[in-house]
Amino acid sequence: MRDLQLTSFIPMGISKYQIGSSFISISLLTLSLAPSAQALTFKTFTNIDAFQAATTRLNIETFNSTATSTDKNHDLTDFNIRSDMTWTRISEGTLTGNINNTNFLQLQSRNPATSAALNFYSSMSAIGFDWVNTDNSGDTLELIIDGQSEIFGAANQKGFFGIIALDGLFDSVEFSDTEGGGYLQYAGIDNIRYGYVQDVPTPTAILPSLFGIFVGLGRRKQTEQP
């Protein structure tokens, strides 16, 4: 809706009606460029009920139907994992870091500059998951999304972390850790929920309102005629 501010910069002597068509052209151009034009704005959640109330059409990856594997890279139903962390294992639910005694994603890091990227096959605007950090020496869990770092998981803690993009879509996130002491040993991630923010205007929803603004400006011009 940044486009609406253009009306504040109309030079004296040029009517809003006269620039109406170019105004809409600029708006259409901006809409077509908007998804990658600037950094996304995020809102984070630590309460799963609040996250679910803000989102819709969520899918979930529980890892429960995925074979356990000590590989770093994995191909799952809706995303793959590509990692340079020390471990990015699909581990069974008896191992340290499990969430609810079921298969989970188990991370170990010896270098906070490394990460595990989840690359989704479709763009989305919301992701949330259960986490546990069993580390005893200070490494905190980090989610990197759209180039921005979100610190969420303190050592010897567990919980839920969710994040939604308020003004666009993303198709990948990276799990990492911050510089602590020694290794990150371990992080457990499970029940990854991903989908969409509720009530985000789409271009097809915005166009009618832009048309309404155009008509409104035209009518206002007519009423201002002497």
Binders in 160-189 for Ca ion, by CB under 5 A: 176, 180-182
Pick 8 or 65: Cβ nearer Ca ion: 65
Confirm or reject binding of residue 56 to Ca ion (CB under 5 A).
no
**CA 189 – CA 79 distance, rounded (Å):** 15
Among 20, 35, 112, 159, binds Ca ion (CB under 5 A): 112
**CA 207 – CA 78 distance, rounded (Å):** 31
DSSP class of residue 1 equals -
Among 3, 61, 130, 139, binds Ca ion (CB under 5 A): 139
How many residues lie near Ca ion (CB under 5 A)?
A: 16
71 φ/ψ sector (left φ>0, alpha ψ -120 to 50, else beta):
beta
Token pair 């989102």 is at which residue?
A: 55
Among 102, 111, 157, 172, binds Ca ion (CB under 5 A): 102
Q: Note whether 158 and 124 are within 8 A (CB).
A: no
Residues contacting residue 61 through CB under 8 Å, at least 6 positions apart:
76, 77, 78, 79, 191, 192, 194
Pick 98 or 125: Cβ nearer Ca ion: 98
Between 8 and 47, how does the x/- string for binding to Ca ion read (CB under 5 A)? ----------------------------------------
- Residues at the site binding Ca ion, with contacts judged by CB under 5 A: 62-64, 102-104, 112, 135, 137, 139, 142, 176, 180-182, 190
